[in-house]
């Protein structure tokens, strides 16, 4: 696999992985912008509105017919939150040249269509079509309101929001309902033009095409991308200490049978010079896998839950634990989770635990290198962190992490917020009756 | 091993059958670090009634899933931890029709394969460990009870089927799992985990002969009979009831409509039948179908919508659904779209480009090791080879797809399950 990275337009970087391993190629274009409460919903809406129609393919019927004709190539809106950066754009995958029946080639037509979607929307009088904006605005509102449907991700989202008041990180990737409601097509068009002109961008390709050919296709597709004054002031503020001395506790009620416990932590001063591999190993020992302390104790030993796991955001320097428990087990589960974290901090880690954690991470990293989608996501993260190594090299770094490194990575972790989602009192009474 | 090449799509398949009746499938993937292996039994949540030593057994809902949880216990401890200690990522799932144990790894493949084969063929259950698991599985069931997608699906099954075990959740209920004992688990393991009722599928850069050799070494050599199962008398093609609704903590109504297809099609003819169905459903209800795009544009559907056919427990059925502010209007419009195709047939241009898109989708699916491995196992149980699908697809015509819609998607066979938001408290 050959990896290249070049600035193809001002502030626009193309990462190319040339390989004939995959039968499906990936091409993604991500505009990078600051995640803020004021703009998140607008940014999230833009690719969906653009996906409704272009000058050449004016509606979804025309686009669908075009994409089906390209052997079911997919070009879909993508909106991702990476720390306090919102990445918006399009994500395409399509059959690699080698496996097309008639010796056809899809890179150029897919890149062209992606460029048209981004830069040549169906407009009237220079404005995005109001019916497209309103229709997609409704769907965005539906998506925002639907957050509550999945109680696990909802608990994580609410915990993050409550833990980080005043930080951009509190903002959900889709923005909030109030902002989404206030959008209108005139303001959105203005915002769209500004976003295009001011955003740096990350483009990623993985497939069999030569980098020079990819660069040509991309440059041609994005030839009319306006380049104004670029907002290079994007990044993530890392808060080292907790908001209050003691963890803040939040309880909310919904009509549910199972309680969801979400706990937020700040990684603390270790984020001044973060050792990425050690942080990952620390998290894996604590709650990343089924051999981890959380699973082994909260689930296997105490039978308190079906799932209990921890996850890191190394860009923001935070860690989250999520578990689904009986409401009455709240104290027991919380105490056990905190006890297991203390064990990691105290270096109470066996060689087996450390090895299983490292091997699990290495397996994940090498597996990511075996899928075009895995590579896309990995490299977007690396590029935003300014890191230049690939998954294989990251795996080698993980291999070298010692128990002391992992303990050091846990040293300054502090619990900042405990969120508990429980059933309504009313329902609890119903059950008793 | 027998080698079959699929040069048009760049795949090769190695197959063998051991003397104990176990079919083995290996799809080598040159240049990949990742290896996937699945050891799958043709035994799922719906296989509740069977004959054991002349006696009819009726097991409680949730046994196959409970057994899946407990299979990881070995006399020397939990094997999941042991596999993770080799760097493998191991897991399992239970569906209505199968239970699959699988791992992906990037090193020490043969060691992991041995472990997989050994733990799945070694039943070891104690009263204590079976009792302890009840708390964990109860929490899993509780999680499903709060999941509107799961609830809307189960309610649909109860509308469609009069007595087929598809009516019960694969995991059972907190109530039904109370009666599960070590003896029940041993009985079910003996019946359904014999190699002749299973399949081993491997996808990755491995030596196929080594896979066969290891399986022959680890597994018993004798062949046990494949158990017969009883799903009760044949279901009619009409649902028990047409509509149900319940209220949950959701932001907008969620719906799932279903239609009964009749007996599950098997063998190569069955494969063709299934492919016709999936192509027809893509033309009719896919994300690029005229019906979906119209309802999307009208704001009645969003991207949560999906449609597909499923086959299990001797039955076939179509489901389609998602979020909508007016589920009844959407279900009606979608059934009308089917009636229209039944009358006039699909537009041949639409059909041709959807066929191209299906080809692209199937090429994409070849990169999904787990999906491919599990599909091959499920195909083995239903008597066909999924990789033959590329060739079968070529033979399917627009008339085939139109006829499938005309013959199957009729309103008398349909039912609609809806989950509505809670009414505002006040």
The model's pLDDT over B306-349, given as tens digits with 9 standing for 90+, comes to 999 999 999 999 999 999 999 999 999 999 999 999 999 999 99
Structure tokens at B389: 């699908």
At A431, is the pLDDT very low, low, confident or very high (cuts 50, 70, 90)? very low
- DSSP state letter for A121: B
At A39, is the pLDDT very low, low, confident or very high (cuts 50, 70, 90)? very high
Question: Among B214, B216, B206, B242, which Cα is nearest to B105's?
Answer: B206
Quick check: is A138 in a domain? yes
Q: What is the largest CA-CA distance in chain B?
A: 69
At a CB cut-off of 8 Å and minimum separation 6, what does A177 contact?
A141, A144, A145
Is B353 within 8 Å of A326 when comparing Cβ atoms?
no
For residues A269 and A351, membership in a common domain is answered with yes
For residues A282 and A330, membership in a common domain is answered with yes
Region B274-278: mean pLDDT is 97
For residues A327 and A210, membership in a common domain is answered with no
The answer on pLDDT for A97 being more than 80 is: yes
Nearest CB neighbour to A21, from listed B31, B85, B89: B31
Region A222-251: mean pLDDT is 94
Residue ranges of A 353-382 with Cβ closer than 8 A to chain B: 355-356, 359-360, 362-364, 366-367, 369-372
Structure tokens at B53: 């030593």
Quick check: is A399 in a domain? yes
Q: Which residues of chain B lie closer than 8 angstroms to A61, CB-CB?
A: 290, 293
Q: Among residues of chain B, what percentage have pLDDT more than 90?
A: 91
Is B32 within 8 Å of A370 when comparing Cβ atoms?
yes
Nearest CB neighbour to B106, from listed A149, A356, A363: A363
Domain that holds residue A69: 2-221
Quick check: is A95 in a domain? yes
Task: Report pLDDT digits (tens) over A276-305.
Answer: 999 999 999 999 998 899 999 988 888 888
B68 is catalytic: yes
**A405 φ, ψ (degrees, to nearest 5):** -60, -45
Is A363 within 8 Å of B366 when comparing Cβ atoms?
no
Closest residue in B to A52 (Cα) is B297
Question: Is A310 in contact with A281 (CB distance < 8 Å)?
Answer: no
Which segment of A258-262, A368-372, B227-231 scores lowest on mean pLDDT? Answer: B227-231
Structure tokens at A96: 């690699």
Distance CA B150, CA B145 (A): 7
The answer on pLDDT for B121 being more than 70 is: yes
Strand, coil or helix: B322:
strand
- DSSP state letter for A329: G
Q: Which residues of chain A lie closer than 8 angstroms to B136, CB-CB?
A: 299, 303, 305-306
Amino acid A425: pLDDT:
66
Quick check: is A63 in a domain? yes
- Domain count for chain A, please give it: 2
Letter string b/e over residues A330-360, b meaning 16 or more CB atoms within 10 A of that residue's CB: beebbebbeebbebbbeeebeeebbebbbbb
Region B393-398: mean pLDDT is 97
Task: Report pLDDT digits (tens) over A314-332.
Answer: 999 999 999 999 999 999 9
The answer on pLDDT for A428 being more than 50 is: no
Question: Among A109, A63, A312, A44, which Cα is nearest to B293's?
Answer: A63
**Domain spanning B243-421, CATH architecture:** 2-Layer Sandwich (3.30)
Q: Which residues of chain B lie closer than 8 angstroms to A257, CB-CB?
A: 142, 145-146
Task: Report pLDDT digits (tens) over A200-216.
Answer: 999 999 999 999 999 99
Strands B254-263 and B315-323: antiparallel
At a CB cut-off of 8 Å and minimum separation 6, what does A402 contact?
none
Region B60-69: mean pLDDT is 97
The answer on pLDDT for B21 being more than 60 is: yes
Structure tokens at B341: 């195709």
Residue A115 vs residues A28, A224, A334: alpha-carbon distances, Å: 11, 9, 50
For residue B133, the surrounding DSSP H or E stretch is: helix B127-145
Quick check: is A259 in a domain? yes
Strands B414-421 and B243-248: parallel
Tokens 């009964």 correspond to what residue? B260
Question: Among B416, B405, B241, B423, which Cα is nearest to B326's?
Answer: B416
Average pLDDT, chain A: 94
Closest residue in A to B109 (Cα) is A363
For residues A210 and A259, membership in a common domain is answered with no
For residues A200 and A300, membership in a common domain is answered with no
Task: Report pLDDT digits (tens) over B191-234.
Answer: 999 999 999 999 999 999 999 999 999 999 999 887 788 998 88
Amino acid A86: pLDDT:
98
Is B251 within 8 Å of A135 when comparing Cβ atoms?
no
CATH number, domain of A9, equals 3.30.830.10
Amino acid B86: pLDDT:
86
Average pLDDT, chain B: 95
Q: Which residues of chain A lie closer than 8 angstroms to B66, CB-CB?
A: none
Amino acid A429: pLDDT:
43
For residues A165 and A216, membership in a common domain is answered with yes
Distance CA B248, CA B419 (A): 7
Angle at A369 between CA A367 and CA A370, to 5 degrees: 65
Instruction: Give the CA-trace dihedral at B285, B286, B288, B292, to 10 degrees.
Output: 40
CA atoms within 13 A on the CB side of B10: 19
The answer on pLDDT for B385 being more than 80 is: yes
Distance CA B294, CA A4 (A): 43
Task: Report pLDDT digits (tens) over A328-366.
Answer: 999 999 999 999 999 999 999 999 999 999 999 999 999
Q: Supply the ipTM of this predicted assembly.
A: 0.89
Amino acid B225: pLDDT:
85
Amino acid B424: pLDDT:
63
* Same fold? B2-230, B243-421: yes
Angle at A101 between CA A98 and CA A107, to 5 degrees: 50
Q: Which residues of chain B lie closer than 8 angstroms to A145, CB-CB?
A: 251-252
Quick check: is A237 in a domain? no
Sheet holding B243-248, edge to edge: B243-248, B414-421, B254-263, B315-323, B306-312
Is B251 within 8 Å of A142 when comparing Cβ atoms?
yes
For residues A181 and A271, membership in a common domain is answered with no
For residues A212 and A267, membership in a common domain is answered with no
Nearest CB neighbour to B9, from listed A69, A99, A356: A99
How many CB atoms sit inside 10 A of residue B332's CB?
A: 15
The answer on pLDDT for B292 being more than 50 is: yes
Question: Is B328 in contact with B416 (CB distance < 8 Å)?
Answer: yes
Region A183-199: mean pLDDT is 97
B297 touches chain A (CB under 8 A): yes
Amino acid A426: pLDDT:
54
Region B271-298: mean pLDDT is 96
Amino acid B175: pLDDT:
96
Q: Which residues of chain A lie closer than 8 angstroms to B132, CB-CB?
A: 303
The one catalytic residue in B53, B56, B68, B273 is B68
Amino acid A169: pLDDT:
97
For residues A216 and A321, membership in a common domain is answered with no
Question: Is B81 in contact with A356 (CB distance < 8 Å)?
Answer: yes
Is B84 within 8 Å of A356 when comparing Cβ atoms?
yes
Task: Report pLDDT digits (tens) over B107-120.
Answer: 999 999 999 999 99
Closest residue in B to A95 (Cα) is B360
Amino acid B267: pLDDT:
97
CA atoms within 13 A on the CB side of B63: 25
Q: Which residues of chain B lie closer than 8 angstroms to A98, CB-CB?
A: 10
Instruction: Give the CA-trace dihedral at A329, A333, A334, A335, to 10 degrees.
Output: 110
For residues A254 and A199, membership in a common domain is answered with no
B368 Rama class: left (phi>0) / alpha (psi -120 to 50) / beta? beta
Closest residue in B to A93 (Cα) is B364
Q: What is the reported pTM? A: 0.92
Q: What is the DSSP string of B184-209?
A: HHHHHHHHH-SGGGEEEEEEES--HH
Quick check: is A242 in a domain? no
For residues A255 and A217, membership in a common domain is answered with no
Is B104 within 8 Å of A143 when comparing Cβ atoms?
no
For residues A268 and A396, membership in a common domain is answered with yes
A141 touches chain B (CB under 8 A): no
A208 touches chain B (CB under 8 A): no
Pick the CATH number of B2-230 from 3.30.830.10, 1.10.150.120, 3.30.1330.80, 3.40.50.1110: 3.30.830.10
Gap from A242 CA to chain B (nearest CA, Å): 31
Evaluated on CA atoms A83, A86, A87, A90, the torsion sign reads: positive
Question: Is A68 in contact with A125 (CB distance < 8 Å)?
Answer: no
Quick check: is A327 in a domain? yes
Strand, coil or helix: A216:
helix
The residue ranges of every structural domain in chain B are 2-230, 243-421
Distance CA A285, CA A374 (A): 23
The answer on pLDDT for A430 being more than 60 is: no
At a CB cut-off of 8 Å and minimum separation 6, what does B272 contact?
B392, B395, B396
Residue ranges of B 47-76 with Cβ closer than 8 A to chain A: none
């Amino acid at each position: 696999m050959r990896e290249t990275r070049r600035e193809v337009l001002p502030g626009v970087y193309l990462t190319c992985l040339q390989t004939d391993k995959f039968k499906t190629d990936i091409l993604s274009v991500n505009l990078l912008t600051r995640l803020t409460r004021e703009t998140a919903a607008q940014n999230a809406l833009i690719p969906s509105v653009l996906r409704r129609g272009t000058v050449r393919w004016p509606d979804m019927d025309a686009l669908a017919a075009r994409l089906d004709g390209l052997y079911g190539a997919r070009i879909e809106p993508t909106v991702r939150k990476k720390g306090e950066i919102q990445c918006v754009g399009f994500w395409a995958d399509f059959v690699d040249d080698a496996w097309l029946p008639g010796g056809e080639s899809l890179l150029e037509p897919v890149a062209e269509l992606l460029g048209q979607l981004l830069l040549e929307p169906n407009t009237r009088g220079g404005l995005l079509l109001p019916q497209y904006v309103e229709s997609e605005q409704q769907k965005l509102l539906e998506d925002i309101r639907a957050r509550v449907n999945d109680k696990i991700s909802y608990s994580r989202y609410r915990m993050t929001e409550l833990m980080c008041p005043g930080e951009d990180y509190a903002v959900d990737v889709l923005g909030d309902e109030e902002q989404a409601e206030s959008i209108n097509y005139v303001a959105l068009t203005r915002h769209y033009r500004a976003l295009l002109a001011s955003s740096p961008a990350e483009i990623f390709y993985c497939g069999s095409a030569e980098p020079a050919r990819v660069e040509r296709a991309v440059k041609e597709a994005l030839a009319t991308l306006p380049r104004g004054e670029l907002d290079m002031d994007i990044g993530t503020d890392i808060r080292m200490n907790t908001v209050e001395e003691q963890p803040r506790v939040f309880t909310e009620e919904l009509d549910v049978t199972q309680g969801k416990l979400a706990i937020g932590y700040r990684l603390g001063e270790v984020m001044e010079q973060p050792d990425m591999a050690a942080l990952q190993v620390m998290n894996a020992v604590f709650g990343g896998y089924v051999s981890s302390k959380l699973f082994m104790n909260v689930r296997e030993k105490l039978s308190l839950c079906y799932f209990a796991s921890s996850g890191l955001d190394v860009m923001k320097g935070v860690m989250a634990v999520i578990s689904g428990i009986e409401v009455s087990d709240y104290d027991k589960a919380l105490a056990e989770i905190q006890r297991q974290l203390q064990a990691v901090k105290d270096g109470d880690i066996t060689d087996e635990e450390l090895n299983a954690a490292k091997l699990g991470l290495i397996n994940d990293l090498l597996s990511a290198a075996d899928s075009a989608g895995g590579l896309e996501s990995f490299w977007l993260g690396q590029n935003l962190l300014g890191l230049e190594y690939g998954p294989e090299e990251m795996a080698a770094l993980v291999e070298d992490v010692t128990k002391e490194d992992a303990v050091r990575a846990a040293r300054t972790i502090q619990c900042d917020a405990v969120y508990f989602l429980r059933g309504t009192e009313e329902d609890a009474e119903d059950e008793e009756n | 091993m027998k080698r079959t090449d699929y040069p048009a799509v760049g795949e090769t398949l190695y197959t063998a059958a051991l003397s104990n009746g176990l079919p083995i499938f290996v799809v080598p993937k040159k240049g990949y670090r990742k290896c996937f292996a699945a050891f799958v039994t043709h035994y799922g949540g719906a296989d509740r009634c069977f004959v054991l030593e002349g006696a009819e057994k009726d097991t409680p809902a949730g046994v196959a899933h409970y057994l899946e949880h407990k299979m990881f216990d070995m006399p020397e401890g939990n094997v999941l931890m042991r596999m993770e200690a080799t760097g493998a990522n191991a897991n399992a799932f239970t569906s209505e029709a199968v239970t699959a144990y699988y791992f992906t790894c990037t090193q020490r493949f043969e060691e992991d394969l041995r472990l997989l084969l050994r733990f799945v063929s070694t039943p070891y259950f104690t009263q204590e460990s079976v009792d302890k698991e009840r708390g964990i599985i109860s929490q899993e069931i509780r999680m499903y009870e709060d999941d509107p997608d799961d609830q809307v699906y189960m309610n649909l099954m109860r509308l469609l089927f009069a007595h087929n075990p598809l009516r019960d959740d694969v995991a059972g209920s907190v109530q039904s799992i109370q009666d599960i004992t070590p003896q029940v688990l041993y009985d079910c393991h003996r019946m359904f985990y014999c190699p002749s009722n299973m399949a081993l599928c491997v996808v990755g850069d491995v030596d196929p002969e080594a896979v066969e050799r290891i399986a022959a070494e680890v597994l018993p050599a004798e062949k046990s009979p494949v158990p017969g199962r009883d799903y009760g008398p044949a279901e009619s093609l009409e649902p028990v009831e047409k509509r149900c609704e319940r209220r949950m903590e959701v932001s907008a109504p969620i719906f799932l409509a279903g239609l009964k297809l009749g007996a599950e099609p098997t063998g190569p003819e069955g494969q063709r039948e299934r492919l016709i169905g999936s192509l027809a459903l893509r033309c009719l209800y896919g994300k690029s179908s005229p019906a979906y795009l119209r309802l999307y544009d009208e704001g009645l559907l969003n991207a949560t919508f999906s449609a597909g056919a499923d086959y299990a427990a001797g039955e076939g059925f179509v489901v389609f659904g998602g979020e909508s502010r007016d589920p009844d209007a959407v279900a009606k419009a979608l059934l009308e779209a089917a009636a229209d195709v039944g009358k006039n047939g699909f537009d041949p241009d639409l059909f041709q480009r959807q066929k191209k898109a299906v080809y692209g989708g199937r090429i994409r699916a070849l990169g999904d090791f787990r999906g491919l491995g599990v599909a091959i196992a499920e195909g083995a149980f239903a008597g066909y080879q999924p990789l033959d699908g590329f060739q079968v697809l070529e033979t399917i015509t627009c008339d085939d797809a139109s006829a499938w819609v005309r013959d199957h998607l009729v309103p008398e066979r349909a039912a609609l399950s809806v989950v509505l938001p809670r009414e505002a408290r006040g």
